[in-house]
Chain A
Amino acid sequence: MTLENSRLPLGRTIANAFIAALLFLFAVDAIPSTCLYHKWLKDRTDIIGDTLGTWQQEWRLFSPSPDKVNQRITAEVVFSDGRVATWSTPTWREMSFVMRFLKFRQLEYYDHVTQESHRAAWPYLADDIVKSVVDPASDAVPVSVTLERHWVDIAKPGAELGSMDSFYQFPNRKTFYSKKYSHDSVR
């Protein structure tokens, strides 16, 4: 016996109320804000979606404007013996599509982690990079790590669009995090 069974009027009423509530919540959440009242409704109903795990927000999918930036992250780790190790995010376009598929979560992570709203994650990114460049055969310990974001803005198209690989160099750079280690903080 299920809720929607017509032999159970109460069940049908509950099902109807549930359906109507979901339709309302989904529509309010997914449709881009149309007015201040809609925005107010979004804010008020946000907690329901968050708690149930049914939040969605607007479906942007390269809109209203597509991304116009290519970026990579590099790191420089200095060790106590003076050695300097460098690290960089993978060059995705040089990977086979199978590897890009398998490493997709890394791509997502590196793509999002540099955002200011994710700065709580930067110390752990730094530690993760340091761990990956530590030489187990050496007694040297890391002294400092510096994380840099390199990027290129994809220029507005002119009458000639230019080659598809015009924006694979990263002329802009900015240090977004640095950290000094005490001698026993990284093993």
Chain B
Amino acid sequence: MTAFVSLQGLRRAWNEFFFAPRDTRVCDVIRIGYSFLLLINVLVLAPDLERWFSESGVLPFAASRAVVDSDTLTVFQWLPREDWALWSCYLIMIAQIVMLMIGFLSRVQAICVFIWFVSFSHRFMFLWDGEDNVFRLLGFLLIFCPIGRYYSIDRKIRAPSPDHDGPRPAWGLRLIQFEMSLIYLSTAWEKLNGPEWLMGTALYYVSRLDDVFGRFPVIPWLFETLWVVKLMTWSVLLVECFLPFGLWFKETRRAAIVLGFMLHLSIDYLMVLFLFQWIMMVGLLSFTEPRDWHDLKKLLRFIRARLWRSAGGATMEKGRDDSSPHP
């Protein structure tokens, strides 16, 4: 009987977790942020497109299969190995990313964009890095999110219907949250097995890498003083250990999101890791709730008013309180 009850409880909890109706605006915020970053990612490829992906480039198709797992698929294996085919694929991908961003036939675009991005990734495997793995996985999971319901062309052209508006299940969003937690858990786990992270010297090595470190000016003293380096290394370790758990509890969720943003912004200040930090922050948005956006708006309005007042500006507008939870 107990086993039956607990099984029922588990089933109820599962259904509540994945299928409880919820505000899905954040799915569209993620859609827009994701496609904007992906657009930058693929536009940066343009000047060297033929060098990377054509038969006259640095890795012809046959050679590319020698350096990639043979199970991987790419549409390029079925297409002519000509430059016109490459450019056509590239331009169609860009067009579909733009359509995903503006929310025109959002789900169809999400499916196609995922297929294109996987195809380009598998065509030249070692051109890509961790951020592209996040792009791939978020792109896949976005397919299963209720996207295109807000801030989209789809919303403009769709006839109003109770089935489309209002809260609805968003299990795709739950899967994004799960994946984000897995990323933090996996890297924290790996770091806990690294002697340099435990001894606090990991950032000493990172700060001496000449290709990725030093995006903006830093005070050299910070990375030339052992105790400061140790403090920073352990802070990173602590935050990364906290995030996979802290993001899930309502008491710690906001603090975890803020810490996650601070971590990524500070790494982005210090290092050139392309779009990794930004796509991670887009992923972190999956943990936000309408109330967070509302409170953030209130906070920004408060700060603006204080700045306005301290600058001797006009009388503050009073009595305006936008209670809309729109992100």
Interface on A for B, CB 8 Å cutoff? 2, 4, 6, 12, 15-16, 19, 22-23, 26-27, 30-32, 46-47, 50-68, 70, 91-93, 97, 100-102, 104-109, 111-113, 115, 117-118, 120-121, 123-125, 128, 154, 156-157, 159-164, 166-168
With A93-B210, A120-B66, A124-B59 as given contacts, are A32 and B186 in contact (CB-CB < 8 Å)? yes
Q: Are A51's CB and B51's CB within 8 A?
A: no
Q: Are B58's CB and A104's CB within 8 A?
A: no
Q: Are B208's CB and A70's CB within 8 A?
A: yes
Chain B residues, CB < 8 A from A109: 52, 58, 126-127
- The answer, yes or no, to whether B105 is at the interface (CB within 8 Å) is no
Closest to A113 in B: B126
Cα–Cα, bound, A113→B64 (Å): 12
- State which size class the interface on B falls in: 35 or more
Q: Are B121's CB and A53's CB within 8 A?
A: yes
Q: Are A26's CB and B179's CB within 8 A?
A: yes
Closest to B229 in A: A161
Chain A residues, CB < 8 A from B229: 157, 161
Chain A residues, CB < 8 A from B63: 120-121, 123-124
B128's partner among A51, A67, A108 (CB-CB below 8 A) is: A108
Cα–Cα, bound, A61→B69 (Å): 22
* B116-136 at interface with A (beta carbon < 8 Å): 118, 121-122, 126-130, 133, 136
Minimum C-beta distance from A176 to chain B (A): 15
Chain A residues, CB < 8 A from B214: 93
Minimum C-beta distance from A96 to chain B (A): 10
- The answer, yes or no, to whether B305 is at the interface (CB within 8 Å) is no
Cα–Cα, bound, A19→B179 (Å): 12
A154's partner among B122, B182, B208, B272 (CB-CB below 8 A) is: B208
Chain B residues, CB < 8 A from A64: 190-191, 193-195, 197
A67's partner among B66, B183, B205 (CB-CB below 8 A) is: B205
Closest to B136 in A: A53
Minimum C-beta distance from A90 to chain B (A): 9
With A26-B182, A93-B211, A108-B128 as given contacts, are A101 and B274 in contact (CB-CB < 8 Å)? yes
Q: Are A30's CB and B182's CB within 8 A?
A: yes
Cα–Cα, bound, A157→B207 (Å): 12
A105's partner among B52, B202, B205, B208 (CB-CB below 8 A) is: B52
A31's partner among B44, B186, B206 (CB-CB below 8 A) is: B186
A159's partner among B129, B182, B194, B226 (CB-CB below 8 A) is: B226
Q: Are B72's CB and A51's CB within 8 A?
A: yes
* B135-152 at interface with A (beta carbon < 8 Å): 136-137, 140, 146
Cα–Cα, bound, A156→B140 (Å): 41
With A65-B194, A111-B211, A124-B63 as given contacts, are A53 and B114 in contact (CB-CB < 8 Å)? yes
Q: Are B19's CB and A12's CB within 8 A?
A: yes
Interface segment among B29-37, B215-223, B291-299, B319-327: the answer is B215-223
Q: Are B194's CB and A164's CB within 8 A?
A: no
- The answer, yes or no, to whether B245 is at the interface (CB within 8 Å) is no
Known: A54-B137, A164-B224. 7 other contacts (CB 8 A): A2-B146, A53-B72, A63-B194, A63-B202, A66-B194, A157-B226, A166-B208
Minimum C-beta distance from A46 to chain B (A): 7
Q: Are A59's CB and B67's CB within 8 A?
A: no
Minimum C-beta distance from A112 to chain B (A): 4
Chain A residues, CB < 8 A from B315: none
Chain B residues, CB < 8 A from A159: 226
Chain A residues, CB < 8 A from B220: 163-164
With A121-B63, A124-B63, A128-B57 as given contacts, are A161 and B171 in contact (CB-CB < 8 Å)? no
